[in-house]
A and B are shown apart, each in its own frame.
Chain A
Amino acid sequence: MTDAAPLIEVQQVTRRYPLARQGLWEPRRSLTALDQVSMTVREGRTLGVVGESGSGKSTLTRCLLGLEPVDGGRILYRGADIAVHDAHGRRGHAARMQVVFQDPNASMNPRMTVHDIVAEGMVIHQRELGLDGPARTAQVLTLLGHVGLGRDHLHRYPHEMSGGQRQRVCIARALALKPECLILDEPTSALDVSVQAQVLNLLHEMQQAFGLTYVFVSHDLAVVRYLCDDVVVLRGGMVVEAGPTEQIFSTPQDGYTRALIAAMPELESCLR
């Protein structure tokens, strides 16, 4: 398999959060969410980021999206540092890189209809896209069609739909700006098994149809193994292991990786 070109390069990225001072004269302590993290996302492939709570994966997501600055290192998108952008540049990054979050309930404004939720990106980027109302609505319908929803969902509110349908709307919203790369932050963790299968199939379909690059963040090793080409394991803000999926799963080097893989072996042996 030839090495696809790197789309995103994370180089020694560090991110710290200041903590409340313990005493007036104590130096201010900080929490290091990411500690010299490096990884490469190759174009057209799916990178799995495995980590539990406290591993720094949420912080990594926000830094990749440009929503948080980094305190050390840099993140390159097609060779260009994403950090030095002005407001215009930051919007440009939004058009290239989008996200689908874990909880479809929380990631949509409960007072907005499906139509407005999916169209929002186009409204924000009005200047660049130049689409008027009807054109946007047409695009919304097209996107809903891609994810398997129809016109009758157009004016529904999030709470009127099931978990699987909500997540599809989130996927449609993420695709609206025609991004090159999609960050999927535990997109199926909050869904039932049967619905998870539908959404995973859909994600694969979208990747094939639009040539997308995926960064798939999850703690579910079975899904990561199934869907990802390469894997990075995060623990306590540091990368403990990285490599092609099969290599990581067949010959894990790090003790933590081995513990993760060993956590739920029984089901697999039952199914085989």
Chain B
Amino acid sequence: MPLLHIDNLHLAMRSYDGEAHVLNGVQLQVDKGEIWGLAGETGCGKSVTGLSVSRLVNTPPARYMQGRILFDGQDVLTLDERAMRRLRGRAISMIFQDPSTNLNPVLRVGEQIADVAFEIGRHAPQVLGLGPQTGLGERRRAAERLGVEMLERVGIPDAARRAHDYPHQFSGGMRQRVLIAMALVGQPRLLIADEPTTALDVTLQAQILRLLSDLVKRSDTAVLMITHNLGVVAQICSHVAVMYAGHVVESGRTREVLQSPRHPYTRALLAALPRPGLQRGQLANLAGRVPDLIHPPPGCRFAPRCARATAACTVATPPSVAVSDQHQVACVHLDEVPA
């Protein structure tokens, strides 16, 4: 049984001009130890999908119309807030994009990570290395020790002393490491990272990604990495799911999808990347714009921009077809495209 199984998820979002059909049957399966990249451009629904797994999307104005999010066989959408809170941090953890706004500026870093560890330790004392009947004081001390240990593990030098510093005394890259430490302190089974390196410099990006990759490999944690940057996907993701207008159009092992993309959108995306050897001014152009989610086009949402589109494409959202082991593509015109 996969650790995470998003099954035909449909989400609508109420907005100023109407109700937008943001997620259109998202299908995704993540097994433990796999690092899945959820890739796509602005508005494709990747962030909302990630937030949905942790039930951090406010309903209203959002509304889950259909589908399930199965975590370890349990539908997260049916859980109440208390049960959800127990999952968060302990089983499902999240890292967000901007490290400068995600840490409380008036609390010391060591305190913040100890808070997380302490809270998790309430229901799962084994995380702190303690038995079930321990006093608050001892638990707090264990939480603080664990906090410092985590800071060391994410590569913060002189962790014991640095734990007494405030967030503004850390650089951007260091802060992101602290956030990673906070996310992993509860030994989560699934880590959802929403554009964790977008706000960082290029050289830092590589370091942080390497750190993440090392940490999750050691603990067999599954990762859902939300990003618009295919370079990040190529760097650490074992698998990738490409999203367009609320639907996963192609998914599979990273190398396979990037080297032999079968969906017209994936191909167009890869063709649009500047590469050495290309003539200037000749970057493959993807004409048109992302569809209006309030009045989406019928059937395949990519059809209006697709060179291969026919009437068959507008009948219904194309089902995912397996083109090889683990490589799935949602297109009805697969046979016309050579592998």
Report whether over half of chain A's contact residues are helix, strand or loop; otherwise say mixed. helix
A222, A249, A267, most chain B CB atoms within 10 A: A267
Given A194-B268, A197-B272, A270 and B255 contact (CB-CB distance below 8 Å): yes
Of all chain B residues, which has the CB nearest A165? Answer: B289
Cα–Cα, bound, A27→B39 (Å):
51
Q: Does A259 contact B (CB under 8 A)?
A: yes
Selected from A162, A198, A266, the residue in CB contact (under 8 A) with B231 is A266
* Contacting residues, chain A, for B258 (C-beta < 8 A): 267, 270-271
Cα–Cα, bound, A77→B70 (Å):
64
Cα–Cα, bound, A247→B255 (Å):
29
* Contacting residues, chain B, for A219 (C-beta < 8 A): 201-202
- Chain B 243-259, CB within 8 Å of chain A: the 1/0 string? 00000000000110011
Q: Which of B7-15, B111-119, B273-281, B330-338 contacts A (4 or more CB under 8 A)?
A: B273-281
A179-224 interface (Cβ within 8 A of B): 192-194, 196-198, 200-201, 204-205, 208, 219-223
Of all chain B residues, which has the CB nearest A202? Answer: B281
**Nearest-CB distance from B85 to chain A (Å)?**
35
Report whether A264 and B285 are in contact in the complex, using a CB–CB cutoff of 8 Å. no
Q: Does B66 contact A (CB under 8 A)?
A: no
Q: Does A53 contact B (CB under 8 A)?
A: yes
* Contacting residues, chain B, for A270 (C-beta < 8 A): 234, 254-255, 258-259
Of all chain A residues, which has the CB nearest B271? Answer: A197
Report whether B286 and A266 are in contact in the complex, using a CB–CB cutoff of 8 Å. no
Selected from B203, B233, B268, B275, the residue in CB contact (under 8 A) with A226 is B275
Report whether A205 and B41 are in contact in the complex, using a CB–CB cutoff of 8 Å. no
Given A200-B283, A201-B282, A267-B230, A193 and B202 contact (CB-CB distance below 8 Å): no
Cα–Cα, bound, A35→B273 (Å):
34
Q: Does A87 contact B (CB under 8 A)?
A: no
Given A193-B269, A194-B286, A222-B273, A227 and B202 contact (CB-CB distance below 8 Å): no
Cα–Cα, bound, A221→B268 (Å):
21
Of all chain A residues, which has the CB nearest B284? Answer: A197
Selected from A200, A205, A225, A263, the residue in CB contact (under 8 A) with B203 is A263
Cα–Cα, bound, A205→B201 (Å):
30
**Nearest-CB distance from A223 to chain B (Å)?**
5
Report whether A264 and B231 are in contact in the complex, using a CB–CB cutoff of 8 Å. yes
Of all chain A residues, which has the CB nearest B202? Answer: A263
Cα–Cα, bound, A204→B281 (Å):
5
Report whether A52 and B255 are in contact in the complex, using a CB–CB cutoff of 8 Å. no
Report whether B273 and A271 are in contact in the complex, using a CB–CB cutoff of 8 Å. yes
Cα–Cα, bound, A219→B268 (Å):
23
Given A163-B42, A267-B231, A270-B259, A198 and B285 contact (CB-CB distance below 8 Å): yes
Selected from A204, A260, A262, A264, the residue in CB contact (under 8 A) with B280 is A204
Report whether B202 and A260 are in contact in the complex, using a CB–CB cutoff of 8 Å. yes
Report whether A52 and B275 are in contact in the complex, using a CB–CB cutoff of 8 Å. no
B206, B278, B282, B284, most chain A CB atoms within 10 A: B206
Q: B residues engaging A (CB < 8 A)?
A: 41-42, 201-203, 205-206, 228, 230-231, 233-235, 254-255, 258-259, 268-270, 272-276, 278, 280-286, 289
A197-B283, A220-B202, A263-B206 given; name 13 further pairs at CB < 8 Å: A193-B41, A193-B230, A197-B274, A197-B284, A197-B285, A204-B281, A208-B281, A221-B202, A222-B231, A222-B273, A225-B276, A226-B278, A226-B283
Q: A residues engaging B (CB < 8 A)?
A: 52-53, 162-163, 192-194, 196-198, 200-201, 204-205, 208, 219-223, 225-227, 249, 259-260, 262-264, 266-271
- 19 residue pairs A–B, Cβ–Cβ below 8 Å: A52-B201, A193-B269, A194-B268, A194-B286, A196-B272, A197-B273, A201-B282, A201-B285, A205-B281, A249-B276, A262-B206, A263-B202, A263-B205, A266-B231, A267-B231, A267-B233, A268-B275, A270-B254, A270-B258
